[in-house]
Amino acid sequence: MNGSSIIEFEDMTWSQQVEDSKKPVVVMFYSPACPYCKAMEPYFEEYAKEYGSSAVFGRINIATNPWTAEKYGVQGTPTFKFFCHGRPVWEQVGQIYPSILKNAVRDMLQHGEECIRKSTPVGQDITGYV
């Protein structure tokens, strides 16, 4: 997204940009043909501008980055996941009311370090591929 506040993540950069981030990260897992993703993009962009000083906002195309999607169990788009210290702490799947997403972002940022206590590490060896 040119001129956007949203970073485009990829499998190869995920670890550095999300798992190693000092700030909370809000990720939209999407696919190019997903009409619900397109409907949510303007709201996601708006929240990225509003809360971008406190969190990193990014998206990842599951069609071209299947490893990350599989690692986090993403099966549908859009899937919104919040990461704190590299760990997933909240998830919402599908097109949702924009206010739900905005409230979740606001709440996550207000509770700051508390989010790490609610998180679970994800093993690097989770994969169906041998």
What is the structure's pLDDT at 1?
45
Question: Collapsing DSSP states into helix, strand and coil, what is residue 88?
Answer: strand
Residue 112 banded pLDDT, cuts 50, 70, 90: low
Residue linked to tokens 């969190």: 55
Domains in the chain, CATH or no CATH each: 7-118 (3.40.30.10)
Write down the pLDDT at residue 122. 54
pTM, to two decimals: 0.84
Residues 54-81 have pLDDT tens digits of 999 999 999 999 999 999 999 999 999 9
Mean pLDDT computed over 37-54: 94
pLDDT of 117 strictly over 80: no
- Answer yes or no: is pLDDT of 115 > 70: no
Question: Which amino acid type is present at position 33?
Answer: A
